[in-house]
Amino acid sequence: MLRRCNEEGVQHARVHVLLDGRDVPETSALEYVEALEKVLHDLNEQGGRDYRIASGGGRMFITMDRYGADWSMVERGWKHHVLGEGRGFPSTTNAIETLRDENAGMIDQNLLAFVIVDGEGNPVGPIRDGAAVVLFNFRGDRALELTRAFTEPELSEFDRGPIPDVDFVGMMQYDGDLELPRHYLVQPPDIDRTMGEYLARNQISQFACSETQKFGHVTYFWNGNKTGYIDEKYEKYVEIPSDKVTFDERPWMKAAEITDKVIDAIRTGQCKFIRLNFANADMVGHTGFPASIRIAVETVDICLKRLLSAIQEAGGIAVITADHGNADCMWKEKNGKIIPMVAHTLNPVPFIVRDFSGSNRFALTDVKQPGLANVAATICVLLGYQHPEEYEPALLQIEGTLQN
């Protein structure tokens, strides 16, 4: 994108960097910063260009909140990126190295925010009227709140001060229902005929529950990047507010509260399909603290035992799976050293079905390469419905029947 800016004759460009340390090694930021700064240097050397990094910080500290869990993150990002307010450093490398030295053990995702300043202490890149702002994020959940901050005149979640008059675009449209943002660079995928929509259209009662950190995973993502209910008459969503602390400090998170709500829903006998997400193994797994990760996994074990008892009491069927691994691997080798593994793993995830109804006889189908794409059709079969023809085939069938 920077090279294209250069080709198009853009004279001034600023990059506001959000450090990861979750899907990459936990203290690898300088590798990426150095590569970026080389590109900026090379473009500046061509003459007539002023391309620089302007601000930054850890993505779990500034800017990239999701599902309204902690708008103060977005506020901190706004102050640093837009207003140029914050602790100043002469360079990004100096900022990262200094903040690491001052905060022993702090990993990239939690790194404090910083602003790059010139020799007189002035910020080099606050966002001003007339700027073009591109949010370089494909995934929508952590992009929506910053998008709203730039595009909603009446946003009340925090005081933005004077809002700069900018052309704001996303890499994609992050919410199809809300049409946010209006302008984007890549045509978003048209996700339709989701299982939630299929069930709602067939008047099948649904209950979805998670804590804030994963609430969108059982609602927004589940419904094809769309906010809100498909049909509120047949759906109920319950969000448990997440703690506003780093996840290694409270690795039990809100698993117990989620379990309480789901058990209550089971015992009403009014919900035919219930979905929930325990955030513990993923969110705590990203921190790289083994003691906390073990507690996170044990917490889910305890809650799962409670859920299975309630499902057994109701004569239901339990399905247990995941979208990826994380807590299953805590270490890896890099350059001859053992370092914490904080990214998602590529290990196969389990798909466990426990039928307490006593009235079904299921058999495995002949799916050659089973995967997450087969889950939707399988759940339809477990619910006693024929899945849509365009779905990938089910992993199970009722014994004695032919798979459709």
Domain 2-170, CATH among 3.40.1450.10, 3.40.50.970, 3.30.70.270, 1.20.1260.10? 3.40.1450.10
Alpha carbons 68 and 73: distance in angstroms, whole number: 10
Residues of the chain with CATH 3.40.1450.10: 2-170
Q: Which CATH number is 195-311 given?
A: 3.40.720.10
Confirm if 251 and 296 have CB atoms less than 8 A apart: yes
Angle (CA) 135 83 86, round 5°: 105
Q: What is the CA radius of gyration of the chain?
A: 24
Q: pLDDT tens string for the chain (404 positions)?
A: 999 999 999 999 999 999 998 888 899 999 999 999 999 999 999 989 999 999 999 999 999 999 999 999 999 999 999 999 999 999 999 999 999 999 998 999 999 999 999 999 999 999 999 999 999 998 889 999 999 999 999 999 999 999 999 999 999 999 887 899 999 999 877 888 999 999 999 999 999 999 999 999 999 989 988 888 999 999 999 999 999 898 999 999 999 999 999 999 999 999 999 999 999 999 999 998 999 999 999 999 999 999 999 999 999 999 999 999 999 998 988 888 888 888 899 999 999 999 999 888 899 999 999 999 999 999 999 999 999 999 999 999 987 554 44
- Within the chain, all domains assigned CATH 3.40.720.10 are found at 195-311
Tracing tokens 């219930």 back to the chain, one arrives at 274
Q: Are the C-beta atoms of residues 323 and 347 closer than 8 Å to each other?
A: no
Q: What is the DSSP letter of 374?
A: G
Of 318, 378, 306, nearest to 353 by C-alpha is 318
DSSP for 206-268, please give it.
EEEEEEHHHHTTTTTTTTTS--S-S-TTTEEEEEEPPPSS-TTTSTTTTHHHHHHHHHHHHHH
Tell the residue number behind the tokens 């290694």, with chain if given.
248
CB 65 within 8 A of CB 145: yes
What is the overall mean pLDDT for the chain?
94
- pTM equals 0.75
Q: Cβ(152)–Cβ(181) under 8 Å?
A: no
- Express each pLDDT in 101-142 by its tens digit: 999 989 999 999 999 999 999 999 999 999 999 999 988 899
Could you tell me if 191 and 143 are in contact, meaning their C-beta atoms sit under 8 angstroms apart? Answer: no
